[in-house]
Structure 1
Amino acid sequence: MLAGAGIAGTAGAAHADGKATVADCATAWGSLTKSSSAPGTTPLRNIRTGANTCYDRIVFDIDGATAERGYHVGYVDKFQQDGSGEEIPVNGGAILQIFVHAPSYDPYTGKPTYGGKGGQSLPGVDLTGYKTFKDTKFGASFEGQTQVGVGVRAKLPFRVSQTTDKLIVDVAHTW
């Protein structure tokens, strides 16, 4: 199942029975915080997810982005809304907090570009059948960056990558 069409990829090959082995899905990604301080002012337009043989994926579509985008991704004990500090409950065995340097509004007009609401699940994201992702929550869009919490089954390895208009976070199903 790949709900994030257009962003296909594999960390390992599937066998004839359609199942991957732990060796097929081996990663060297690690679970430590990953970040980039690259600036960004173009707005976020969508957040979507996809399930893959070896990992679950969350994609941040950024309107008109053409360069590297700043981000900060790491595990936290509590998901606290940026700006207010209010705790937002996130289901799962661990919480992956993602900040992307892209506001969910047009910085020139203030008009919303993404419909996320603080403390609520991400609009249009259905995690039924996912192996690693258990929950998603929108934190805030504050001072030019957007915050999202992803509830995962356990503290698993993850990687962050980018294309010209996307920030992509993959969380492995296993170590």
Structure 2
Amino acid sequence: MRLRQGLYAVGLALGLLGQGCQKQEPQTVPMDVPAVPPPAKTVPREGPAATAPVVHQVLDVTEDAGRPAPTAQAAPDPGAEAWTTATVEKPRGEPPSITLRSVRTGTHADYDRTVFEFDGPRLPGYQLGYVKTPVQQCGSGDDVKTPGEAALEVRFTLARAHDDQGQATVAQRSLKPALPSLLGLERVCDFEGEVTWVLGTARRVPFRVLELTNPTRLVLDVQH
């Protein structure tokens, strides 16, 4: 009897062991399956590669190499300003005096240009016009000879051509560019808020005045 009970227990144990061996194992991914590459010209989202969808396309700049560049917006035509031989005046009296930093000249196809550049965001008041010769120095009253047949005076107020220590901010008082119309320039005043330059021109011809910013400039063009 004891032998039969022992055999029965052994058989029962073997049966349970057999049922356990028949349990399904979880499926595994074969290691030799190649990874799927992302589409061409794409960048995946940051994160695990298996869950990273494409988020934007990479632009190929060489594809646009043959296309024309966008048309730039046309700059304002300075010729729209009126040419005149009459006096041009724009008064401004707001203190403090604005410092003149440079005076430069150049020539173009139909006119000669003089540029007066100032500190700060605004111009001082100004008056431009042809004057009788000879002109005088504002302090001494001495005559100043200018080349050419005409003298075009440029007067700035409130302005100065020196710094707080009294040093000139434009080193040269006389310029001799010898351009087709503009033959010479002379600074005749830097006193009590007034700065004056006189331009010697070949003859009395029309001029125009332009106000420019960044940096702050007054431009004077004199026709050939």
Q: TM-score range with shorter-chain normalisation? A: 0.7 to 0.9
In structure 2, the partner of 1:144 is 193
Counterpart residue identity of residue 88, structure 1: V
TM-score by length of 1: 0.72
Distance in 2 between the 1:11 and 1:127 partners?
Answer: 23
Residue 97 of structure 1: SS of its match in structure 2? strand
Deviation track 1:56-87 (CA, whole Å, cap 9, x = no partner) reads 11111112x21243111111112211233221
Displacement after TM superposition at 1:109 (Å): 3.9
Alignment pair present for 1:167 and 2:218? yes
> 1:25-48 deviations in whole A, cap 9, x for unaligned?
xx8511011111113612111100
Q: Counterparts of 1:44 and 1:131 in 2: how far apart (Å)?
A: 26
Residue identity in the other structure for 1:77: K
- 1:87 corresponds, among 135, 140, 143, to 143
In structure 1, distance between residues paired with 2:210 and 2:82: 14
1:104 to 161, 169, 182: 161
1:35 to 55, 66, 89: 89
Q: How far, CA to CA, are the matches of 2:84 and 2:126 in structure 1?
A: 17
Alignment partner for residue 114 of structure 2, among 55, 58, 61? 58
Percent of aligned positions with the same letter in both sequences?
Answer: 32
CA distance in 2, matches of 1:96, 1:36: 16
State the Cα deviation string for residues 108-166 of structure 1 (Å, max 9, x = none). Answer: 4433222144xxx23xxx524x2101121121211112111111011011111212311
Task: Kindly state the Cα deviation for residue 11 of structure 1 after the two structures are TM-superposed.
Answer: 4.3
- Sort the Cα spacing of 1:132 and 1:82 in 2 relative to 1 into closer, same or farther, 3 A: same
Q: Contact conserved, 1:50 with 1:56, CA < 8 A, in 2?
A: yes
Shift in CA distance, 56/66, structure 1 to aligned 2, threshold 3 Å: same
In 2, Cα distance between the equivalents of 1:161 and 1:99? 15
Asked which structure has the greater RCO (Cα within 8 Å, sep 6+), the reply is 1
Return the letter of the residue paired with 2:221: D
Q: Counterpart of 2:143 in 1: which secondary structure?
A: coil
Structure showing greater Rg: 2
Q: Which amino acid aligns with 2:98?
A: T
Structure 1 equivalent of residue 28 of structure 2: none
The corresponding residue for 2:126 is 71
Give the partner amino acid of 2:111: Y
Contact kept? 1:11, 1:54, Cα under 8 Å:
no
Amino acid at match of 2:200: G
SS of the equivalent of 1:43 reads: strand
Give unpaired runs (5+ residues) of structure 2: 1-76
